[in-house]
Structure 1
Amino acid sequence: MSDKRKRTRRAPRRRFPARMARWLARATLWLGIRVGGVTVAVVGAATVFYLMQLPEADELLDGRERGSVTMLDRNGDVFAWRGEQGGVVSAADMSLHLRNAVVATEDKRFWNHYGISPRGIAGAIRINLREGRSALSGHGGSTITQQVAKLVFLQDESTWMRKLKEVPYAFAMELAYTKEEILSIYMNRAYLGASANGFEAAAQRYFAISAREVDIPQSAMLAGLLTAPSRFAPTRDLSRAQNRSRVILRLMHEQGYISDTEYVDARTSPAVLSAEAQRRSGGYFADWIMEDGPEFLTSETSEDIRIATTYDPALQRAAEQGLTGVFEELVREGSQAQAAVVVLSRDGAVRAMVGGRAIGGAGTFNRATQALRQPGSAFKPFVYAAGLEGGMNPTDYLVDRPITLNIPGSGPWTPQNYTRTHIGPVSMHEAFARSINTTAVQVSEETGRGRVIATARALGLDSALQDTPSLALGVSETTLLDLTGAYAAFLNRGLRAEPFGLLEVRLRDGGELLLNRETPEPVRAVSERTAGYMTWMMGQVTASPYGTGRRAALEDRPVAGKTGTTQAARDAWFIGFSGDYVTGVWMGYDDNTPLTGVTGGGLPAEIWKRVMRGVHQGQGVTPLPALVPIAPQTPPQVATANSGNNGRVVIRRERVEQRTEDAIRNVVEGVLRGLLGN
């Protein structure tokens, strides 16, 4: 066969692939045109549909479901924020540097595209593939317009459905709104950490100025929050936020928004937090206000409000430093023991609160207000106060000896002293200062548990109290705040001092008064005589050589208080007061693990002492309102009871003479106070 004939036969075979390729190209083009046409028609129809539903731009600026809560301390300064912080300012009124920083960071072609950016999407896909992710995972290439669609209209959609709807929504918004309006919606609704929604709230939160006033470094730091607001929040990690802001500054410089000089200056002088934002203290106090205040003005408010409180930042620092210092110096490293501190004025105003140590992801559980713990011997002031109300005197004698009580349904119960020893006859005030258990039970049983419970209730303990002989030893749970508030009544000459922290609530804008705390009428919890005697007896706890709270004594002023240690040392307390402040300290483990070598007169008393030193720094001395008892003229006659009265001790000495002396003393003191104007 000739060569020409062979070439002729092979030619159709070569032409077939070429014809097939042309056919496929025409078919693909035909299909593409039709699919494209259908896609354009669907997108166009969806765009028109969404366009008809879009509200006015002004209606979309504030998307918060709840209002914000700003808290002021006793000096009128901001110390905490809660709720959803916001504040509407149009993008045109915000700092030009801030607007440029946002555009440079999120969408550099924002002013030129029509809602989507194909180049941005292609770049995002390229980055995702280079970093080992799927094409649509990670960087999305979304424009600011698409992000507004997601923030406002598509939050509840699945990822794929949202991606499909973003495009027609973006086109619709570009047709309905100006670029300035779209940017305004975005800059007012973007979440920027620390409960701040929008750049006005964030500027106020971190820098205590308006978004109208932020400079280049501040603008870069705020824009840097858009990627990961919680991670880059400067209140969480300032150095990380500053590093992120340097990335934003580089983008602003590359895109011509800032000059070489501005770029260098901003990098060398990064933004720092305002004094208000730097205050990390007061969180537990603020949480307590949110829980304790009326819900319609705190957690459920739709308004932006300001709450004036009793919080004192100087006393808060003293409380935090006192607690931290003891754990750093006297507690083994790595200890998981917790502690809480509360400081009150004599009228019950809460000035400082430490709800726990920030260890092991401790969270926001407030051990000062939420933890129900057994007070142990810190409950004994209510027992002895009930005894005094019933006619006893601090100089009455009791007998510290083994006693056994028959408890119906439980059988015999024998209370033990901490020392496991007994000292026999002992005055009431010494038994209290030594924290003897047997005598506390005797006083409770002799006075009547009903009267003890009523006295504790009158003083401010609202939790359940067990009507059993062990009531006297503090087995009924309470909170540190309630216990400290009850002690305040002794300092307050027997008038109940209910703990409070909220003073007034006003609208943030306009200042309209919504709620004002009215000073309640004085309620007498115990007599002034009882309060005075108890103050003196608690003074012996810190001042006498046998007092369990000697470690809490202050060098420059008299103080009074009581230690408390529960069974197996699961809780250790010291609650006490000076002439001006009442402070409570609790120490223990959240899981009730026993403390090792800790009693209320040890580390809690040391914490209390250091806190009170800081609290009183630079303050004058206010004397305690103590009533000193008159010692008996003759030794008392004491006899133990027989088994017929359940092991109680009967005090036979007549008290008529003592009561007469007390009455005369009270009359004389009353006349003197009248003459001296006190």
Structure 2
Amino acid sequence: MSTRKNGRDRLVADRRYGKPAAKTPTGGKRKASTTRSRRTARKRPPRRGLSGLVSRILGFFGRLIWLVTSRVAIVVLLVLGLMVGYTYTTLPPLDELLDGRAQGSVTMLDRENRVFAWRGDQFGGAVRADQVSRHLKHAVIATEDRRFYWHPGISPRGIASAVRINLREGRGPLQGHGGSTITQQTAKLLCLGNRYDPNEWESESAYIADCRETSLVRKAREAIYALAMEAKYSKDDILSIYLNRAYMGGGAYGAEAASQRYFSKPAAALEPQEAAMLAGLLTAPTTLAPTNDLERSQNRAALVLNLMEDQGYLTSAEADRARANPATLSQEAEQRRGGYFADWIMDTLPPFVNVESRQDVDIRTTLDPRIQNAAEGAIDTIFNEKVRDGSEAQAAIVVMSADGAVRAMVGGRKTGVSGVFNRASQAVRQTGSAFKPFVYATALELGRSPYDTVVDEPFCMNVPGSGQWCPKNYTRNFAGPVTLTEALKRSLNIPAVKVSEASGRDLVARVATDFGIKSDVVDTPSVALGVSEATLLEMTGAYAGILNGGSSVTPYGIESLTIKGDDEPLVGRRGGMGERVIREEAARQLVFMLEKVVSEGTGTRARLPDRQAAGKTGTSNEQRDAWFVGFTADYVAGVWMGYDDNTPLTGVTGGGLPAEIWHEAMVRIHEGVEPKPLPMSAPEPPAQVAAPQPQPQQQPQPQRQQRPQQSDDPVGDFVGRVLRDIFGN
């Protein structure tokens, strides 16, 4: 300010602005004087009024939100770090995670030591990521997680992309595409470290369902576990766990097992098209398994090959060559033979060796692939040529050697399947007249001859609790006096009942049981007509006892069972010939009688063109079951036909389609096998004795129900029985 002369200040304001800057010679602008003046120049005056108030409020809340968010983020990161750190401490060593089976594996070999079936959790052995084919590594990464080697275990970009796709396709955000990395998928395979405890879980299925849960909480836990795995293991270690634990269909867990299962080669030798097929199974291992639908599996593999080419794992030439030569199943995997047989083997394993023990075992079996193919072909041929379209009738066949070694088994008209109802070993059905050989075996064991006679005539007897029972022949006719051979050959019912009652039905039941019929043999006169039940396997084994000279047989399919890696078998042969049931001579005479059934009687459709055969037809009440069981000198075979719901067969008896299936199978089975005679004895025919004609007016007397007690004169008793049969009393 200026100053007055009297010393007082002038009331004049200082110059508000400085002097104008002097012009420089170059004409440039003058530089700002001070930093303070620049700040003052930039400073804007505060807003006034309502807009200023709103601005200040928003600024306050913005700063507050930032303060809270940053602090919460720090806390969350600390908590997350603690959780990841704790999870890190719970992770076991790598080697403990490579084997992910819940059960053990069973590999079955036929009698030629070739693999034909697998059961349980197949595990080819632990392999590392650097031990498998590079094509398999690349195929898995290209398909499941292309950024696997770059992310820290979770991929926010992948999760966001998956949520977007799910919402676009009308699903929930977590339904369908998961966006999980390979590390997250491995965490799920490990069930986040939780192992199955029967005391904790209601069932194993409940445990598995919990492991596969897809809630937000579960996803969060999965992400924490994945981060801990990334900190604990290397990328190749995580990939190794995944390649060993992933289910790849066909009961195969892990790349090595799947490679052996489908291609019969180690995972290290996989070609690009084979690796692409295995990698393609990871999204839907059951439906895409090449053993279920090869074409669908090949189409999926082609998509994987495209991904491998796009991501630079295959050149265009390599990808084109792989697409032009799609992967196919190995011969062992493609044949899929013996499914029913393999299922039966699993049912007969000793209790201390089963798939739940997690032991890997090799089982050498009695299965003959040539005979199995013959049996399957016979059923297919007869049903295709002689059974009307739309029929739901079923059939089963069992073929075995005389010692009970099962060579083939077909449990239904649909072949090449497994895990279904096995009518050969599980269906318990009425045997019908196929039971009659045990009646005559008892009589022969007691000393009767195939040429002894019995009268076929109207016959009734009183059954306590049931009243009068009058059996009838299938033809409703009567043949008069017939030999035992004739009665069996023509499958006459009345003579069979008479022989059974005369021999003692308790002895008939014992003979049948000793030959291998496990079901209770009914204690009624109708036992002679086959009202008792049995499985086809039991019946075939019982006839094998007749062929081998009268010794019991336990059908078996296991030759030896060995734990993988061991040299000595843990279990040897499971079955075979047992104790003698009837005398060898009686068995040879029974073979003679059964040969007449095939050559002259009800089983003529089963006759073979180049060798002797023996057997018996059987038809149960109301034609619900039709049987033919018979043998040559080399093999025994049994055939059953019927409906699962017990619907009566229309126009089918044991001497019809079952005999034709038996014939078709045995012709194929014996191709190249030198014919041998049956082990039979033909007794000398007795002197002919004219039997008196029965009195038409005389009411037949019922037979005694109980077997006559033994006396001191067995010869006299035997002659008495013969005379009673001759005269019908």
SS of aligned partner of 1:257? coil
Residue of structure 2 equivalent to 1:513 = 569
Q: State the 1:12 CA deviation.
A: 4.6
1:112 corresponds, among 132, 141, 150, to: 150
The one-letter code of the counterpart of 1:188 is N
1:467 corresponds, among 496, 518, 523, to: 523
Q: State the 1:31 CA deviation.
A: 4.3
2:461 corresponds, among 405, 410, 421, to: 405
The number of equivalent residue pairs is 644
Q: How many angstroms apart in 2 are the aligned matches of 1:318 and 1:23?
A: 89
**Would the aligned equivalents of 1:85 and 1:197 in 2 still touch at CA under 8 Å?**
yes
Q: How many angstroms apart in 1 are the aligned matches of 2:574 and 2:188?
A: 47
TM-score (norm 1): 0.91
**Would the aligned equivalents of 2:429 and 2:625 in 1 still touch at CA under 8 Å?**
yes
Q: Check 1:288–1:636 CA distance in 2 against 1; reply closer, same or farther (3 A cut).
A: farther
Residue of structure 2 equivalent to 1:91 = 129
Q: Check 1:104–1:499 CA distance in 2 against 1; reply closer, same or farther (3 A cut).
A: same
Q: How many angstroms apart in 2 are the aligned matches of 1:555 and 1:446?
A: 38
Q: Check 1:332–1:18 CA distance in 2 against 1; reply closer, same or farther (3 A cut).
A: farther
Describe the superposition over 1:541-575 as per-residue Cα deviations: whole angstroms up to 9, x where unpaired: 1111xx11111111111100000000110000000
**Would the aligned equivalents of 2:628 and 2:659 in 1 still touch at CA under 8 Å?**
yes
Alignment of 1:421-460 (within 5 A): 421-460=477-516
Alignment of 1:210-289 (within 5 A): 210-289=266-345
Farther off after superposition, 600-609 or 33-42: 33-42
Residue of structure 1 equivalent to 2:636 = 582
Residue of structure 1 equivalent to 2:654 = 600
Q: How many angstroms apart in 2 are the aligned matches of 1:166 and 1:519?
A: 51
Farther off after superposition, 281-290 or 635-644: 635-644
Q: How many angstroms apart in 1 are the aligned matches of 2:48 and 2:664?
A: 103
Q: How many angstroms apart in 2 are the aligned matches of 1:521 and 1:239?
A: 47
Describe the superposition over 1:56-92 as per-residue Cα deviations: whole angstroms up to 9, x where unpaired: 1111000213211100000000000011111211111
Describe the superposition over 1:142-199 as per-residue Cα deviations: whole angstroms up to 9, x where unpaired: 1111111111133635432321101111111111101111111010001111111100
The one-letter code of the counterpart of 2:167 is L
The one-letter code of the counterpart of 1:348 is G
Q: State the 1:281 CA deviation.
A: 1.5
2:385 corresponds, among 324, 329, 337, to: 329
Q: State the 1:632 CA deviation.
A: 2.0
SS of aligned partner of 1:523? strand
**Would the aligned equivalents of 2:256 and 2:267 in 1 still touch at CA under 8 Å?**
yes
Matched, 1:355 2:411: yes
1:37 corresponds, among 54, 71, 74, to: 74
Q: How many angstroms apart in 1 are the aligned matches of 2:485 and 2:458?
A: 19
Matched, 1:123 2:161: yes
Residue of structure 1 equivalent to 2:676 = 622
SS of aligned partner of 2:482? strand
**Would the aligned equivalents of 1:395 and 1:631 in 2 still touch at CA under 8 Å?**
yes
The answer for unaligned runs of 5 or more in structure 1 is 1-9, 660-678
Describe the superposition over 1:615-664 as per-residue Cα deviations: whole angstroms up to 9, x where unpaired: 111111011011112122222546869879624799x99988xx9xxxxx
Residue of structure 1 equivalent to 2:113 = 76
Matched, 1:148 2:186: yes
Matched, 1:63 2:118: no
**Would the aligned equivalents of 2:556 and 2:575 in 1 still touch at CA under 8 Å?**
no
Q: How many angstroms apart in 1 are the aligned matches of 2:299 and 2:52?
A: 63
**Would the aligned equivalents of 2:340 and 2:418 in 1 still touch at CA under 8 Å?**
no
Farther off after superposition, 270-279 or 295-304: 295-304
Q: State the 1:136 CA deviation.
A: 1.8
**Would the aligned equivalents of 1:295 and 1:301 in 2 still touch at CA under 8 Å?**
no
Matched, 1:159 2:214: yes
**Would the aligned equivalents of 1:435 and 1:548 in 2 still touch at CA under 8 Å?**
yes
**Would the aligned equivalents of 1:640 and 1:648 in 2 still touch at CA under 8 Å?**
no
Residue of structure 2 equivalent to 1:492 = 548
Q: How many angstroms apart in 2 are the aligned matches of 1:475 and 1:467?
A: 10
Q: How many angstroms apart in 2 are the aligned matches of 1:219 and 1:77?
A: 24
Q: Check 1:72–1:268 CA distance in 2 against 1; reply closer, same or farther (3 A cut).
A: same
Describe the superposition over 1:2-52 as per-residue Cα deviations: whole angstroms up to 9, x where unpaired: xxxxxxxx9855666666665665454444334433332222111011011
1:610 corresponds, among 643, 647, 664, to: 664
Q: Check 1:41–1:307 CA distance in 2 against 1; reply closer, same or farther (3 A cut).
A: same
SS of aligned partner of 2:551? coil
Residue of structure 2 equivalent to 1:177 = 233
The one-letter code of the counterpart of 2:114 is D
SS of aligned partner of 2:580? coil
Residue of structure 2 equivalent to 1:669 = none
Residue of structure 2 equivalent to 1:101 = 139
Q: Check 1:222–1:81 CA distance in 2 against 1; reply closer, same or farther (3 A cut).
A: same
The one-letter code of the counterpart of 2:532 is S
Residue of structure 2 equivalent to 1:319 = 375
**Would the aligned equivalents of 1:383 and 1:452 in 2 still touch at CA under 8 Å?**
yes
**Would the aligned equivalents of 1:504 and 1:515 in 2 still touch at CA under 8 Å?**
yes
SS of aligned partner of 1:63? coil
Q: How many angstroms apart in 1 are the aligned matches of 2:259 and 2:239?
A: 17
SS of aligned partner of 1:366? coil
Q: How many angstroms apart in 2 are the aligned matches of 1:518 and 1:356?
A: 25
TM-score (norm 2): 0.85
Q: Check 1:22–1:340 CA distance in 2 against 1; reply closer, same or farther (3 A cut).
A: farther
SS of aligned partner of 1:75? coil
Q: Check 1:18–1:611 CA distance in 2 against 1; reply closer, same or farther (3 A cut).
A: farther
SS of aligned partner of 2:113? coil
Describe the superposition over 1:229-284 as per-residue Cα deviations: whole angstroms up to 9, x where unpaired: 00100011111110110111111111100100010011110111111101222111
Residue of structure 2 equivalent to 1:526 = 582
The one-letter code of the counterpart of 2:138 is N
Alignment of 1:195-214 (within 5 A): 195-214=251-270
Matched, 1:305 2:361: yes
**Would the aligned equivalents of 2:460 and 2:700 in 1 still touch at CA under 8 Å?**
no
**What percentage of residue pairs aligned between the two structures are identical?**
53
Farther off after superposition, 12-21 or 492-501: 12-21
Describe the superposition over 1:295-352 as per-residue Cα deviations: whole angstroms up to 9, x where unpaired: 2223333221100000011101100010111111111111111111000011110000
The one-letter code of the counterpart of 1:111 is Y
Please report the RMSD computed on the Cα atoms of aligned residues, expressed in angstroms: 2.4
SS of aligned partner of 2:267? coil
Q: Check 1:639–1:20 CA distance in 2 against 1; reply closer, same or farther (3 A cut).
A: farther
**Would the aligned equivalents of 1:224 and 1:241 in 2 still touch at CA under 8 Å?**
yes
Q: State the 1:497 CA deviation.
A: 2.6
Q: State the 1:519 CA deviation.
A: 7.7
**Would the aligned equivalents of 1:398 and 1:638 in 2 still touch at CA under 8 Å?**
no
**Would the aligned equivalents of 1:459 and 1:526 in 2 still touch at CA under 8 Å?**
no
**Would the aligned equivalents of 1:80 and 1:283 in 2 still touch at CA under 8 Å?**
yes
Describe the superposition over 1:86-140 as per-residue Cα deviations: whole angstroms up to 9, x where unpaired: 1211111111110111111111101111111111112111211221112221111
1:49 corresponds, among 72, 86, 89, to: 86
SS of aligned partner of 2:554? coil
The one-letter code of the counterpart of 1:579 is A
SS of aligned partner of 2:447? coil
